[in-house]
Amino acid sequence: MNVNDYVLKYFDENNEELSKLAKEIWDYAELGLEEHKSCKAIIDVLEREGFSIEENISDMPTAFIGTWGSGEPIIGILGEYDALAGLSQKVSHIKEPVIEGAGGHGCGHNLLGIGSLGAVVAAKRAMEKYGIKGTVRYYGCPAEETISSKVFMARDGIFDDLAASLTWHPDFANAAYYSSTLAMNSFKVNFHGITAHAAGDPQEGRSALDASIIMDIGVNYLREHVIQEARIHSIITHGGDAPNIVPGYSQIHYIIRAPKRQDVEEIYERVKNIAKGAALITGTTYDIEFICGTYNYTVNNTINDLIADKLAQVGPIEYTEEELEFAKNLIGSLEPGQFESFLSSHRLDIDEIGGIICGRIADELELKGFSKGEVVPVSGDRADVSYITPSAQFGTTCVPLGTAEHNWQFVASCGSTIGFKGMILAAKVMALATLDFMQKPELLKAAQDELDSVRKGKEYVSPIPSDITIKKIMEKH
Q: Find all residues with CB under 8 Å of 307, minimum gap 6, and list them.
A: 166, 176, 392, 394, 429, 433
Topology classification of domain 3-180+296-455 = Aminopeptidase (3.40.630)
- Domain 183-295, CATH: 3.30.70.360
- Residue 4 CA neighbour count, 13 Å, CB half: 9
Phi, psi of 311 (to 5 degrees): -60, -45
Q: Which of 76, 69, 144 is nearest to 116 (CA)?
A: 76
The whole-angstrom separation of Cα 477 and Cα 474 is 5
Q: What pLDDT is recorded for position 329?
A: 97
The whole-angstrom separation of Cα 110 and Cα 346 is 25
The whole-angstrom separation of Cα 167 and Cα 436 is 16
CB atoms within 10 A of CB 225: 8
The whole-angstrom separation of Cα 148 and Cα 381 is 5
The whole-angstrom separation of Cα 333 and Cα 94 is 7
Strands 391-397 and 175-176 come out as antiparallel
Q: What pLDDT is recorded for position 343?
A: 87
Q: What is the DSSP string of 274-291?
A: HHHHHHHHHT-EEEEEEE
Type of residue found at 26: W
Phi, psi of 283 (to 5 degrees): 70, 30
Chain-centroid distance of CA 65 in Å reads 18
Q: What pLDDT is recorded for position 477?
A: 58
The whole-angstrom separation of Cα 132 and Cα 134 is 7
Domain 3-180+296-455 identical in fold to domain 183-295: no
3-state secondary structure of 391: strand
Q: What pLDDT is recorded for position 361?
A: 82
Q: What pLDDT is recorded for position 74?
A: 98
Segments making up each domain of the chain, as ranges: 3-180+296-455, 183-295
Q: Find all residues with CB under 8 Å of 408, minimum gap 6, and list them.
A: 87, 89, 95, 97, 104, 106
The whole-angstrom separation of Cα 142 and Cα 157 is 17
Across the chain, how many H-helices and E-strands are there? 15, 13
Cα-based distances in Å from 130 to 123, 127, 164, 475: 11, 5, 21, 48
CB atoms within 10 A of CB 16: 10
Is the Cβ–Cβ distance between 115 and 426 less than 8 Å? yes
CA quadruple 348, 352, 358, 359: dihedral, nearest 10:
-170
Is the Cβ–Cβ distance between 173 and 359 less than 8 Å? no
Span 255-273, pLDDT tens digits: 999 999 999 999 999 999 9
Q: What pLDDT is recorded for position 142?
A: 97
Name the stretches of the chain with pLDDT < 50.
none
Q: What pLDDT is recorded for position 48?
A: 98
Q: What pLDDT is recorded for position 366?
A: 67
Q: What is the DSSP string of 299-352?
A: --HHHHHHHHHHHHHH------HHHHHHHHHHHHTSPTTHHHHHHHHTT--HHH
